[in-house]
Structure 1
Amino acid sequence: MALPWLTLAGTIWLQSINGTNSNFPAYSSQLKNLLSLSQLQLNNLAVASDAGKLFGWFSGLAAAHLPLWLVLVIGSILSLIGYGIQYLFLTNQISSLSYGHVFLLTVVAGNSICWINTVCYIVTIRNFPLDRQVAVGISTSYLGISAKIYTNLVDAFFPSSPEERAKAFLLLNSIVPLVVCICVAPMIRDISSGKSRRVEIEFVVIFVITIITGIYAVTTSFGSISQGLSPVIIVIGMGMLLLAPAVVPVAEKTMERLQNKCWIRREESVHDINVAEEVGGLEIEDRCKGGDPSVGENNIGVKLMVMMVEFWLYIFVYLFGATLGLVYLNNLGQIAESRGSSKTSSLVSLSSSFGFFGRLVPSLLAYIFSKNKCMPSTPTSIAAMMLPMSLAFFSLLSSSTLALFVSTAVIGFCTGAITSISVSTTTELFGPKNFSLNHNIVVANIPIGSFFFGDLAAFIYRQQSDAKNGKCMGMGCYQKTFIMWGSLCFFGSFLALILHSRTSKKINNCS
């Protein structure tokens, strides 16, 4: 069927523009100057974006009772309100807007991401029940290049002055999600295809397209490579690659029409009845053999989930892994500035591009290991990602520019991978039935960790800063922070192994 692949293409387009909070480091320094903010206030704005996830469970409830297209539109409207009013304020079209108002608007904008993510997760899990980790991993990988896409658009179509770039990011964050959601909403649906089947060639094509997109994003993130290319040319190239996944549903539909033309129509109604009975019998037989993956899986509700030891282990693993990585990326602008680097946009694009591959690799490995009927548990995979991530934090203690770029790439990759793996982990631990609510509860740790770790980093930054202008320059600004983050990340990998030992009997990935 072509429709499931059309929905997958739709979720890819949605995810590619849904990382509106990930481009915050690209304009955070300019926003700090425009609003005359302290480092602590700026960090709290980054926390506010993540704080929207505290209310992500609203999107889970809405998805259970409202049409998915309506949930999608609500999410895009929240983004329009959150970022749009801030843009009007910075362009002096709204005169009175306090810091508290900006904080609340950022919370609303951050919450919009949950609504769009929830729809994407539900659609891919339901439409590809036997390959859900692969499908979810492919679609969420595009969230990793979201910051890259927005940065390219700003470079191509807006002035280069820092103040105008900050306004441009807010304008795009408010308008682009609404436009894309309205265009994609008609194709986002739960396709009840009756008989589940594993797919082969279609995923291979999607993987090839996705890998080429990631390579393009990474290569155009390096100034030495992209200097000879016009920003408009880079945007056009990215646009063509983003449209490429539509080739699969178009090809599927073409093949269906060709097959229909080749079939010989038979007029006997008895034959039609026999065919219907035969197909129905095959569907029933397949489901009895385990074709329906929801059979036999635990479907745990929120009340029971929060009482489980595995849930709290999982929360702290996520907190010391993906959440720490997101806190680092949120502070990337100030970290680069303190080290005397003027390449913040390149660093944001680099982390975004490697985050793309980080989100993609788990789905690629899941596709490969599924051939052998055996794959490592998701907690083990998370532990494997947290070890190099902890080393990257420690390598940031070096003052070299190379260490900054390599560490940022590693942290972006590992953060993206853990985020992607966590979708499957939530489903495996607590079942797919209540996924939309359960996973939004899990990711609620992000704003908590962002507030705690981010404010602690801001406090250390302020201690080292110049009393006159509040800026801190030098390696000492984040030295203690990197040691703390690296140690916590290493400890988190140990917790992930404990989670694996407790769930290895419940989650059997080898058959």
Structure 2
Amino acid sequence: MALQWLSLVGTIWLQSISATNSNFPAYSSQLKLLLSLSQLQLNNLAFASDAGKLFGFVSGIAAVYLPLWIVLLIGSSLGFIGYGVQYLFLLTEKISSLPYGAVFLLTVLAGNSICWINTVCYVIAIQNFPFDRQLAVGLSTSYQGLSAKIYSDVIDVVFKKSSNSSTQRARSYLLLNCILPLVVCVIASPLIRVIKTPRSRRLSGGFLVIFTITILTGTYAVITSLGSRKGLVILMGMCVFLVAPLGVPLMEKLREKMENKCMIRRYGKRVCDEGSMEEENGGVVSEHGVKDEGVFVCEEEEMGVKVMVKSLDFWLYFFVYMFGATIGMVYLNNLGQIVESRGSSKTSSLVSLASSFGFFGRIFPCLLDYHISRAKYKVSRPALIALMMVPMAGSFFLLLNDSTLCLHISTATIGICTGAITSISVSTTADLFGSKNFGVNHNIVVSNIPIGSLLFGNLAALLYREQALGSEDGKCMGIKCYQTSFIIWGSLCFLGTLLALVLHSRSKKTYV
């Protein structure tokens, strides 16, 4: 069991540095200036980072045929190239000679590298914790929300002298995005492995400890983000919180040694078999599934890609995700422009607010799943997604009010719902289509993100430009700038809620 917990710690470390695309705003303005880009071209570069997910299925195929540590190194190498080439051109101040198409492709490559790291983390969480997959996935992926905070802390300490200039700060982020994932992947690769164990039981004790550490880590990140003090102490504190989960596998290893000693003292030698271990841990295996601690888990229906894309459930799920989490991401990507159009200067505080609530949104399904799994009446994950999409749809219509309070409430709500849906979706894919081909299947599902980002993001940009016609600087001011976009996004989110309920009615037998 210690190795299982150690693998989860490895995924936590990987997820905490995987969201390198969240740093794009830190140097996007500099690229716009050096390459003389229009706002639409800059938006397309933001889309390029998401476009890497269109090729995420390649990482899923690789995870089936290659050792996971090789998949990790391939992913980090792609990011090393994508960010590294941009850094070299910016360092030599010859980035203006780099064609726009090349910058676009390098950004796609860097965005695709995230898929490889995430695929490995998802596979580990699902395979090593079959009865607690939502807990494992939710806890590990929640650390993605800390990536921007971690990178910012490292920049403020390591590159403090060079972070004053916007050009130097851009170089620092590109260099860190290039090196840090590669270093962490090399460190975590020995921990990342699928553990074959005959024991199948719930592991609530260890998850409770890690859940507590995660909450404390998120709280620490929020508190230190609100303060003006930056420095080595804050970075060291974050490192301590990231290392703290190692206590769980260490305690589990100590417990196993103590149990072995007790068995030897009692019987003279350790004697057990798979049947007695399963019975001892309250697990009984049948030909149709596994019953663990009184909870029956149906055998998953394994689907390949060809079968999956032909099923109605897939397309229902595809558009549920697109009209839910993807629209939430599009809103957050446009948050800076939305805040500016309302005449506010609190962009950074709202971005921090959305990030913080997104972090806790990813954790929320873990706590909910922990209690629901022990309840007499179960709630399907598509129903949970529908539950999260209802307040999100309402938030878009609330944004039609020009009040600053409504802006803060809506942003916080969209952040927490987007994070929750993203976390729930990982386990939902495994529930609907099986865990055997999960790496490929889930990357096919999340291909809706770049598609939705392109469609909904460019639609908002065109509507914004239409409202800005006649202004001297091309800027649009007032609620009218995004009014139509909010109505469209809210309506689509409401439609996604209905589709999620249809998916629930079709798949609820899986959760009986």
Give TM-score, length-normalised by structure 1.
Answer: 0.91
Q: Within the alignment, does 1:132 sit opposite 2:151 as a pair?
A: no
Aligned to 2:24: 24
1-side partners of 2:487 and 2:106: how far apart? 33
TM-aligned CA deviation for residue 398 of structure 1: 3.5
- Matched-pair contact (CA < 8 Å) for 1:336–1:342: yes
Mapping of 1:244-255 within 5 angstroms?
244-255=244-255
Q: Within the alignment, does 1:200 sit opposite 2:201 as a pair?
A: no
2-side partners of 1:490 and 1:281: how far apart? 45
Mapping of 1:488-499 within 5 angstroms?
488-499=492-503
> Deviation string for 1:302-344 (max 9, x for gaps)?
1111111111111111111011111122222333333344443
Report the AA paired with residue 170 of structure 2. Answer: A
- Matched-pair contact (CA < 8 Å) for 1:379–1:499: yes
Q: Within the alignment, does 1:454 sit opposite 2:454 as a pair?
A: no
1-side partners of 2:386 and 2:2: how far apart? 37
Q: Which moved more, 1:254-263 or 1:300-309?
A: 254-263
2-side partners of 1:478 and 1:433: how far apart? 43
Aligned to 2:40: 40
Distance 1:266 1:369, change over 3 A: closer
Distance 1:283 1:190, change over 3 A: farther
Give the SS at the match of 1:196.
coil
Aligned CA RMSD, in angstroms, stands at 2.6
2-side partners of 1:256 and 1:217: how far apart? 34
Q: Which moved more, 1:195-204 or 1:144-153?
A: 144-153
Give the SS at the match of 1:186.
coil
- Matched-pair contact (CA < 8 Å) for 1:197–1:291: no
2-side partners of 1:249 and 1:291: how far apart? 25
Q: Within the alignment, does 1:314 sit opposite 2:317 as a pair?
A: yes
TM-aligned CA deviation for residue 442 of structure 1: 0.4
TM-aligned CA deviation for residue 206 of structure 1: 0.9
Q: Which moved more, 1:113-122 or 1:15-24?
A: 15-24
Query: 1:335 pairs with 312, 333, 338, which one?
Result: 338
Mapping of 1:316-465 within 5 angstroms?
316-465=319-468
1-side partners of 2:280 and 2:305: how far apart? 33
Give the SS at the match of 1:372.
coil
Aligned to 1:237: 237
1-side partners of 2:75 and 2:370: how far apart? 31
Q: Which moved more, 1:384-393 or 1:56-65?
A: 384-393
Aligned to 1:184: 188
2-side partners of 1:473 and 1:28: how far apart? 22
Structure 1 runs of 4+ with >6 Å offset:
292-295
Give the SS at the match of 1:286.
strand
Aligned to 1:503: 507
Give the SS at the match of 2:37.
coil
Aligned to 2:171: 167
User: Which structure 1 residue ranges, 5 or more long, are not aligned?
Assistant: none
- Matched-pair contact (CA < 8 Å) for 1:148–1:349: no
Q: Within the alignment, does 1:76 sit opposite 2:76 as a pair?
A: yes
- Matched-pair contact (CA < 8 Å) for 1:24–1:330: no
Percent identity (aligned): 62
Give the SS at the match of 1:190.
coil
TM-aligned CA deviation for residue 44 of structure 1: 0.7
2-side partners of 1:507 and 1:92: how far apart? 57
Aligned to 1:299: 302
1-side partners of 2:155 and 2:378: how far apart? 41
Q: Within the alignment, does 1:122 sit opposite 2:149 as a pair?
A: no
TM-aligned CA deviation for residue 73 of structure 1: 0.8
1-side partners of 2:476 and 2:32: how far apart? 14
> Deviation string for 1:324-365 (max 9, x for gaps)?
111122222333333344443333332222111111111111
Report the AA paired with residue 143 of structure 1. Answer: Q
TM-aligned CA deviation for residue 496 of structure 1: 1.1
2-side partners of 1:168 and 1:330: how far apart? 22
Aligned to 2:9: 9
Distance 1:347 1:178, change over 3 A: farther
